[in-house]
Structure 1
Amino acid sequence: MLQHHIRKTRKLRPRLLPLRPKIVKLGRMEVMQMVPVRSSAITAVGYDAATRRMKIAFKQGRTYDYCGVPSEVYQGLINARSVGTYYDRVIRDRYQC
């Protein structure tokens, strides 16, 4: 009688990006960890829930800070089908520091 050997394999889960990046301390300076996003205009987004501050890095090389941003807006940006469109409709010209 032949024995069938079944090899157990682990299901690979897609790697999910963290919804809340960490604030990393480098000596006296705090650095916001940026999360890469798929966009033709934006490269990465960072968010500090304690201060409600969001940082957006654009492909042109500039980085902008936004203050008083609710976590729902940050999560909406990260999960948006079109990051650039969400930015234009919900964030641009709002949440100035």
Structure 2
Amino acid sequence: MDSSLIQGARYWPDHRALELCLSSGRRYLYLGVPAEVAEGFAAAGSKGAFFNRAIRGRFDCHPLRDEFPKRRGVND
């Protein structure tokens, strides 16, 4: 994904849920996102601009935690 704001995205059409991973490493789950919006996001030339225009503040948003937190290794 080529964006300075969005690092990755996943969409679950059966649940109308869009997960976005921001370049900061934070992840968010947006609920109630129609397939048309997710498809528009996927096709957008600027993911960040599309996100700001069509997703941010328009859908129920939940911050996600990593399932396995990063831990320092022996050699870190």
TM-score greater than 0.5 by the shorter chain: yes
Q: Give the Cα–Cα distance (whole angstroms) in 1 for the partners of residues 3 and 18 of structure 2.
A: 17
Give a deviation string over 1:25-79, Cα, whole Å, max 9, x none.
xxxxxxxxxxxx2101111010001010110000101000100100110111111
Q: Which runs of 5+ in 2 are unaligned?
A: 62-76
Query: Identical aligned pairs, as a percentage?
Result: 38
Higher relative contact order (CA 8 A, sep 6+): 2
- Give TM-score, length-normalised by structure 2: 0.76
Q: Give the Cα–Cα distance (whole angstroms) in 2 for the partners of residues 61 and 93 of structure 1.
A: 19
Flag the structure with higher helix content: 2
- Residue correspondence of structure 1 range 13-92 to structure 2 within 5 A: 37-92=1-56
- Structure 1 runs (4+) greater than 3 angstroms displaced: none
Q: CA RMSD for the aligned pairs?
A: 0.8
- Bigger Cα Rg: 1
Give a deviation string over 1:66-93, Cα, whole Å, max 9, x none.
0010011011111101110000000001
Deviation at 1:95, TM superposition (A): 1.1
Q: How many residues align?
A: 61
